[in-house]
Amino acid sequence: MNNVSVDIDRKLVADVQKRLGEFHKKAPNAIAKALNRAMTNVNSNIKKEIRKEYHIKSRDIASTLSKPARATKNNLYAEVNSKGRPIGIDKFKVSPKTVNPNRKSPIKIAVKKDGVKKAMGAFIADINGIKAFKRTSGSRLPIQRLFGPSVPQMLEDEGIQEEVNQLGQETFDKRLDHEIERILEKGRA
Q: Compute the mean pLDDT over every residue in the chain, rounded to the nearest whole number.
A: 91
Mean pLDDT of 130-138: 91
Q: Taking 90 as the threshold, does the pLDDT of residue 5 lie above it?
A: no
pLDDT at 112: 94
Domain match, 117 and 64 both: no
- Residues 120, 122, 127: CA angle, nearest 5 degrees: 175
pLDDT at 138: 85
pLDDT at 189: 67
Domain match, 31 and 15 both: yes
Quote the number of domains for the chain. Answer: 2
Domain match, 21 and 108 both: no
The 10 Å Cβ neighbour count of residue 117 is: 11
Domain match, 176 and 160 both: yes
Amino acid occupying residue 61: I
Q: What is the pLDDT of residues 136-179, one digit of tens each?
A: 888 888 999 999 999 999 999 999 999 999 999 999 999 999 99
Determine the structural domain holding residue 131 and report its residue range.
89-145
CA–CA distances in Å: residue 130 to residues 48, 135, 162: 26, 16, 35
Domain match, 76 and 112 both: no
Domain match, 156 and 75 both: yes
- In DSSP terms, 88 is beta-bridged to 147
Q: What is the pLDDT of residues 85-97, one digit of tens each?
A: 999 999 999 999 8
Q: Taking 90 as the threshold, does the pLDDT of residue 11 lie above it?
A: no
Domain match, 46 and 59 both: yes
pTM: 0.87
pLDDT at 113: 92
Domain match, 176 and 94 both: no
Domain match, 75 and 127 both: no
- 156-160-161-162 Cα dihedral, nearest 10 degrees: 140
Q: What is the pLDDT of residues 61-87, one digit of tens each?
A: 999 999 998 999 999 889 999 999 999
**Secondary structure string (H, E, C) spanning the chain:** CEEEEEECCHHHHHHHHHHHHHHHHHHHHHHHHHHHHHHHHHHHHHHHHHHHHECCCHHHHHCCEEEEECCCCCCCEEEEEECCCCCEHHHCEEECCCCCCCCCCCEEEECECCCCEEECCEEEEECCCEEEEEECCCCCCCEEECECCCHHHHHCCHHHHHHHHHHHHHHHHHHHHHHHHHHHHHHHC
pLDDT at 7: 66
Domain match, 136 and 180 both: no
Mean pLDDT of 107-132: 92
Q: What is the pLDDT of residues 107-119, one digit of tens each?
A: 999 999 998 999 9
In angstroms, how far is CA 55 from the centroid of its own chain? 14
